[in-house]
Each structure stands twice: as structure tokens, then as C-alpha cells.
Structure 1
Amino acid sequence: MSILETAETLANLHRAAFAEVGERPWTTPEFASLLTTPGIRFGLREQGFVAVRVAADEAEILTLAVDPGARRQGLARALVEQALAEVAGAGAVRVLLEVAVDNTAARGLYDSLGFVEAGRRARYYGRADGRRVDALVLALDLVPPTASAGSPAA
């Protein structure tokens, strides 16, 4: 599959996944650009995908999209778990993401995976009806913190 065909597939999935909440879907040219950007990784399955950026020892989940007809079947969890394993293998020790405060399904998924609130972006996401909703910045540490030099060993 060419970059343009892959970008079109991603854009179609993204549009279907985000239509319900009225968020602007990413376009085929935006996905084509991402596909050629260093540090960007995609986990793609027939009915969903996750896009992740890795930079040094940090990763960011840019977007996660699952076709509405394939939801509540564990696909989103599988995609995120696969992405977490991949970025950990690439040296990332922390993963960040932004999620709309009103996206209860995604928040539940990220909570169950151990993500914790690290911040908030006021009025970050626009909705088709003109409303603006906050984004929660969530973080997950992939490796446990090491004991400081002066701490007793366990």
C-alpha cells in the first residue's frame, strides 16, 4: 500500500471514529505528512490505529481511533498496549497524551492502563456545536523510578 493509500485509510478511520463527538478529523494530507515524519509510529489494524511520536526518552500518543462498529471488543486496548511495548523498546520511559474531559470511554481505557493526570489544557478541543472542552494531559511512567543514591537498597 502506498503512503497516499495508507494516509487515506487512516483519515477514513479517524473521521468515522471522531464523528460522534464532533471533533475535526485529521485529513489525508495530514496523515501523509505524519507517515513520513521521523519518530512517528503507527499501529494499524483493519478497524483501528494508534499514532505515537517518540523523541528521546519520551513518547506521545497523538491519536487513537477505532471504527464505531468495532468498539468494546478490546481493540483500543490492544493497540495502546502494542504501542507502549514498542515505545519502551525504543527507549521511551514516559508516555504522554491528551484526552478530552468528556471522552469517558477513552479516559476509562487510559485509567485502566495506569495513566495519571499530569495537567490540563483549558478549552483545548473544539466541538462542532461551538463548545470548547478541556483536555486532560495524562502520563504513564514505563519504568519504575530508581532509588536515589542516598536511599537504602531494597
Structure 2
Amino acid sequence: MTAELRVATLDDLQTLVDLEAVTFPEDPWTPFMLADELSSPASRYWIATNEAGDPVGYGGVKVGGDQADVMTIGVAPHARGRGVGRAILDALLDWARQAGAAEIFLDVRPSNEGAIALYNSRGFVEIGRRPRYFRNPVEEAVEMRAPLTRARAKTTTK
């Protein structure tokens, strides 16, 4: 699958709400949370579309000083395993680096082995755990970090 990426705007709020509902049905972000992210000058979100132009994924990053945080990456269930998440993550890493961040952080469920493998392939390493971070179901978070130079260098690998 070839995913086309475009920067999301506040006009894309309903698209993100819809993607959030199918991607994380157990614990979706609220429309208010998503609108707040889309409105923040410190954040940048992308929407991935398939060949037909249908939205199949999204992701966002927030930069503050020399640090960045991957806020979310979500890929619709029918589009997983086709490189959509990788394309979104690479866009997040590139923008964070361009915005001046030297390192980037994220939290992921330990049960999300596919995401952890993707993050490892981009230079992320586990730096800790946060007990009871995720809800529905309750699960700890694996905290991960990558220096953006190393994370970016890894993006050339298939």
C-alpha cells in the first residue's frame, strides 16, 4: 500500500475523530483533545490516505525546546502491516528534527509488539515503564526515547 501523507488542519477534526474511533475504540481521544492538538503551534499532525484517497491513519508530534513527543500514531485495522505507520512515524521524526528537537520520546503499550518493533527500527530504546498509564484495558506504558540523529539515520533502512 502506498500511503500519501498530508498535514492535518483543524478542518480535519472529524476525520481524526473517526480514525480515532476505529483505531483505538477501547480508549479514544475526545474531539476536544484532538482539536486542542490541531490548534497548538507546538504540534504537527499528518493524515495518511490510501490510493483511493480514503484516510487510513494519522499521527502527531509535539515539540518543546530540544525535545519532542510522539503524541499518537493510529492506523485503521484494515491498513495495518502495510507501511502506513512507518510513513507516519518518519514524517513525525523529520518534522521534530526540523523544528529543533534533538531527542524524541513516546509511550506504547507493551502488548503492541508491532509498534515496538517499528520504534526499535527507528532507533528508539526503552527507558522506563509507567504503571497503569493506559486505560481500557489498564496496562503500563513502555517509555521509549531516540536521539533524532540516530532515529533519522535509521529511516533509510527498509
TM-score range, shorter chain: 0.7 to 0.9
TM-score scaled by length of structure 2: 0.81
Amino acid at match of 1:83: L
Shift of 1:111: 1.3
Matches within 5 A, 1:66-145: 66-127=75-136, 131-143=137-149
Larger gyration radius, structure 1 or structure 2: 1
1:16 maps to which of 22, 39, 48? 22
Q: CA offsets per residue over residues 26-75 of structure 1, 9 Å max, x none?
A: 12222112111120111212211111000011100010011111111101
Structure 1 distance, partners of 2:115, 2:21, is 16
Could you tell me which runs of 5 or more consecutive residues in structure 1 were left unpaired when the two chains were aligned. Answer: 145-154
Aligned letter for 1:111? N
**Structure 2 unmatched ranges of 5 or more:** 1-7, 49-54, 151-158
Within the alignment, does 1:39 sit opposite 2:39 as a pair? no
Is the partner of 2:29 in helix, strand or coil? coil
Number of residue-to-residue matches in the alignment? 137
Name the structure where helix makes up a greater proportion of residues.
2
Whether the 8 Å contact between 2:9 and 2:38 is mirrored in structure 1 is: no
| C-alpha deviation, 1:99, in angstroms | 0.3
Q: Is the 8 A contact 1:92 1:142 kept in 2?
A: yes
Taking only the aligned residue pairs, the percentage that are identical comes to 34
Q: Is the 8 A contact 1:7 1:29 kept in 2?
A: no
Q: In structure 2, what is the Cα distance between the partners aligned to 1:28 and 1:15? A: 10
CA contact (8 A) 1:122 1:135 kept: yes
TM-score of the aligned structures, taking structure 1 as reference length:
0.83
Residues 129, 141 of structure 2: 8 Å contact kept: yes
- The equivalent residue for 2:12 is 6
Letter in 2 for 1:77: R
Q: Residues of 2 paired with 1:44 and 1:107: CA distance? A: 21
What is the aligned partner in structure 2 of residue 151 from structure 1?
none
